[in-house]
Chains A and B, each alone.
Chain A
Amino acid sequence: MQRSVVMANALLPLVLTDVSFAIRGHTIIDGVSVEIDAGPRTVILGPNGAGKSVLMRLCHGLLQPTSGTIRWLGSRNGKRRQQAMVFQRPVMLRRSARANIAYGLALAGVGALERRLRAMDVLEAVGLAQVADKPARVLSGGEQQRLALARAWALGPEVLFLDEPTANLDPGATREVESLIGQIHAGGTKIIMTTHNLGQARRLGDEILFINAGRLAERAPVVEFFTQPASAEAAAFIKGELPWQ
């Protein structure tokens, strides 16, 4: 996909300072401070209910922290435009696959002709060109998630957030989605994704942010994290999943 060339990352690093998030008195994120830099694929790993998705929504700007600050140092206002997010369950608009992509581009202020070209380009890149005119909602789960990736990719984001992007997919579709994430990363887009799947974290991650009970328990390069986890929680989490691998 040549058309959405990603420019040098002008948004990162993303700096979280003592970020907490509570809802109805229940603390979900508890004092997270971290700096996320351009380059490596960052995987936010942790058990279900650890607060991974909430942390990601805070970073993306869908939620506001109860306390602490989230700043994009590369940009004065951390524009939403330059980042995109793919959700666990893709939300497809009731229109064609192509129109779903054009919709996102229209919101980003892309002109009509350019929308058409980019939509076809990106559909081809994710292998959905043959179903471009099919209603998006009748596509299979795997196709829908690839379409969701395409919709985000078409925007040429500097940062792409992915929230458990393969949690609802079968192994074949998971492989396709993972390979696309690799391609998007290769194009220069910073990948930040959550998963609770250790295999996926190993395959797709360069660095791991391990979240447990709303706190950042550990941050490490992926090899180091899996071979010699520094925190007891991480060690237990890795071990806990080993027997089922």
Chain B
Amino acid sequence: MNDIATAWTTALALIGGLDPQLTAIVALSMKVSLAAVALAAMVGLPLGAMLAVGRFPGRQSTVVVMNALMGLPPVVVGLVVYLLLSRAGPLGELGMLFTPGAMVMAQTILVAPIMAALSRQALEDAWREYEEQLRSLGAGPLRSALTLLWDSRFSLITIVLAGFGRAAAEVGAVMIVGGNIDGVTRVMTTTIALETSKGDLPLALGLGIILVGIVLGVNALAQLVKDAALRRYG
């Protein structure tokens, strides 16, 4: 019991004192996950819009695959990216394995289908409302998709942040492709896993507190933005 109390105190001291090791880990986590979310949004949101608006052969099966990929186990993504980037793999020449770049790649693959599937759902609802009007005004599929993306921007913020939550909180993929190298590829989740198994609770706990804080903060922000937007734009 005492150990845990000490761990809490030390953890809070680490956060309060802006411990350099801790801030470096948090910074790398943020960089990797934000980059992954940005990339995933660039792929996932247009894909979602295309699936919502387009009527093409294979659309239905693409939707099913996207929905299934939402539940992709991070360790499997890690394994696949590992195989791609390992020296004998097809992308081995890039020398990306065990770098933050590899972690961005893994998280992008993990998060893009989530954004595509969720945005497809949200945009399809909007499309039901807009379709006749936009077709009447002469909008083609591309224009319609862009209009839907812009008009649904506030719902999409929530989806992007859900993706961010997933990216920041996963441990399996970054552990495998990053290797959890101290000072290079060590992020919040991998550090928590490692330090906990080593019995060094204060750093793990401190990072855990920050991670939960970030996820909470991000969701609160999403809610605020959405509410404000709804009041303003209806």
Chain A interface (Cβ within 8 Å of chain B)? 57, 60, 62, 80-81, 84-85, 87, 91, 93-95, 103-104, 107-108, 135-138, 151
Contacts and interface: CB of A to CB of B under 8 A. Distances in A.
Contact of B234 (A57, A103, A138): A138
A135 B139 contact: no
Interface in B124-147: 129-130, 132-133, 135-139, 143, 147
B232 interface: yes
A138 B234 CA distance: 5
B133 A87 contact: yes
B129 A91 contact: yes
A80 B136 CA distance: 7
Given A87-B132, A91-B133, A107 B234 contact: no
Interface of B: 129-130, 132-133, 135-139, 143, 147, 150-153, 232-234
Nearest to B130: A91
Contacts of B137: 84, 103-104, 107-108, 151
A85 B233 contact: no
23 contacts: A62-B135, A81-B138, A85-B136, A87-B132, A87-B133, A91-B129, A91-B132, A91-B133, A93-B130, A94-B150, A94-B151, A94-B152, A94-B153, A94-B233, A95-B233, A103-B137, A104-B137, A107-B138, A135-B232, A135-B234, A137-B234, A138-B232, A151-B137
Most buried by B among A94, A137, A138: A94
A93 B234 contact: no
A194 B55 CA distance: 30
A80 B233 contact: no
A93 B151 contact: yes
A95 B151 CA distance: 8
Given A135-B234, A137-B233, A93 B136 contact: no
Nearest to B153: A94
A161 to B, nearest CB: 8
Q: 8 tightest A-B contacts by CB? A: A137-B234, A91-B133, A138-B234, A135-B233, A94-B151, A85-B136, A107-B138, A104-B137
Most buried by A among B135, B143, B152, B233: B233
A137 B230 CA distance: 10
Nearest to A135: B233
Nearest to B138: A107
A100 to B, nearest CB: 10
Contacts of A135: 232-234
Given A91-B129, A93-B151, A94-B151, A80 B234 contact: no
Contacts of B152: 94
Contacts of A151: 137
B233 to A, nearest CB: 4
Contacts of A81: 138
B233 A62 contact: no
A81 B129 CA distance: 21
